[in-house]
Amino acid sequence: MPQDTDSLPSAGKAVPEDPSPQATLQNSDVPASDLRDILKLAVPAMLAIASEPVYLLADTAMIGRLGVEPLAARAIASSLIGGIYWVFAFLIFGTTTLVGYHRGKNEPDVCGEICVQALFLALAGGAAVAALGILFAPRLYSWMGAGPDVLEQGVTYFRIRIAGTPFTFLLFACVGFLRGIQDTRTPMLIAFATNGLNAALDYLLIYGGMGLPALGLSGAAVATLASQTLAGCLCLGLVFFSSYASEYRLNRWRLDGRRLLSLSRIGTDLAVRTGALRFSLVFATGAVARMGAATLSSHEIALQLFLLSSDTTDGIAVAGQTLAARHLGARRPDRAYRMGKVLILCGVATGLVFGAAYFLLQGALSAFFTRSPEVVGILGVAIFVLLALFQPVNGAVFASDGFLLGVHDTRYLMWAMLVGALGIFVPIAWLSLDRNWGLVGIWIGLSLLMAWRLATNLARFFSRRWESRFPGNP
């Protein structure tokens, strides 16, 4: 699998900014060049990431036709599993940043060492999460406020889904490595294969067909487990049998304390940051669950639409993270800054597209997800208006997140998220339940969280204090 080696420095040497007149003329085309670089990486990443929420939307619609209780059971499982998985998302983002930085320095052996250590962490962490999840599933549903009918169906669903965690974490580590070396096409193909299998099995195992039994909600979990297993196996095959194995010396399976420490440093910041965000989302879901099954189903539909746009825009963030890390590794901070401006504009443009679509297609989207008049009524106009209006804000947030992750400014992102998630969103979610503000109050809180993230991200980006955040940079 070929890789793009344009503009790579010689091994271990920095590439200073060129002040010559020729370089000035070349730099006049920098925004266009940056846009090409972003789109080259972002389009495959966007397609890969978007395939997941597209599948989830179909999954939500199929389960929604089983009734309110199965959809509520799935909502709780998605919130819990999403929270757990995003705490371990440093296997993607941390690996991408470190691999991209060392690729910018032209150190392929170090890139391979980081990948192997990430795979070790994925196997160990995945096994532990799966075991604990299976053991504590009933308690988790009880803590989330699930009623007896929701709990009974949800525990089995949750246990089947959480069993595939080791395979999912292997996928995280491999995707982080591939993004770092600027290969977003291979993760796209893996995503298409696994999500395509998941969608097909979902229909057959939920409703029955082609000789397979109709398992209802449990069938959806079995379909997800099968796709997780396929993803993990494809990733291991890539590590052992592709050209990357020799190019980056991925066959050196030994623990390296130095590389593990590098991952753990960035991983700790990201885990705390993501943990705060996911805790706030889980807390909000718990508050909504206490408002009734119909309200929880409405929240799940709105949240899936939010995730569709955010996950798609994350493709732009992936490109920004990879390019920012590479430019800093090659000692090109000015180029990174210029690229970041283009990146944020791309995020805003993507958000405008999603915002217009949600505003214009409100009725069709509601009808696609549910036949329940009560659920449609709770969604109402207010939730869709909030969802649509904040899409450009969300786009700028996700794009600038990607940039700051790429320049290793994870400690700042962690503190900003702690304040926003725990100081803004969680109190508003609690007040929405206590003061009967309903689902509208929950979504106002989420919108204010995104506004806070935009303000803090842009302040950091334009201050350029991130230039010295990467270890080893002056």
Residue extents of the structural domains in the chain: 28-468
Looking at residue 86, its pLDDT comes to 78
Rounded to an integer, what distance in angstroms lies between the CA atom of residue 403 and that of residue 395? 13
Closest of 189, 231, 195, 185 to residue 43, by C-alpha? 185
Looking at residue 375, its pLDDT comes to 81
Q: Residues 111, 460, 395, CA angle at the centre, nearest 5°? A: 80
Rounded to an integer, what distance in angstroms lies between the CA atom of residue 5 and that of residue 39? 17
Q: Report CA-CA distances (Å) from 388 to 353, 360, 385.
A: 10, 9, 5
Amino acid at 28: S
Quote the pTM value: 0.78
Rounded to an integer, what distance in angstroms lies between the CA atom of residue 287 and that of residue 301? 16
Q: Residue 384: CA atoms inside 13 Å, Cβ hemisphere, count?
A: 17
- Listing DSSP states for 373-392 in one string gives HHHHHHHHHHHHHHHHHTHH
Closest of 414, 417, 401 to residue 458, by C-alpha? 401
Residues facing 209 on adjacent strands: 212
Looking at residue 469, its pLDDT comes to 66
Give residue for tokens 């214009």: 360
Looking at residue 1, its pLDDT comes to 40
Query: Cβ–Cβ contacts within 10 Å for residue 467, how many?
Result: 16
Looking at residue 30, its pLDDT comes to 62
**Which of the residues in the chain have pLDDT under 50?**
1-28, 474
Closest of 113, 270, 93 to residue 179, by C-alpha? 93
Burial of 468: CB neighbours in 10 Å, binned 0-12, 13-18, 19+: middle
Contact of 306 with 447, CB cutoff 8 Å: no
DSSP reduced 3-state for 457: helix
Looking at residue 471, its pLDDT comes to 58
* Tens-digit pLDDT profile for residues 69-103: 888 898 889 888 987 887 788 899 889 999 998 88
Looking at residue 27, its pLDDT comes to 45
Q: What are phi and psi of 209, to 5 degrees?
A: 165, 155
Amino acid at 331: R
Tokens for 105? 């320095």
Looking at residue 21, its pLDDT comes to 37
Q: Residues 205, 209, 213, CA angle at the centre, nearest 5°? A: 50
DSSP symbol at 9? P
DSSP symbol at 8? P
Looking at residue 473, its pLDDT comes to 53
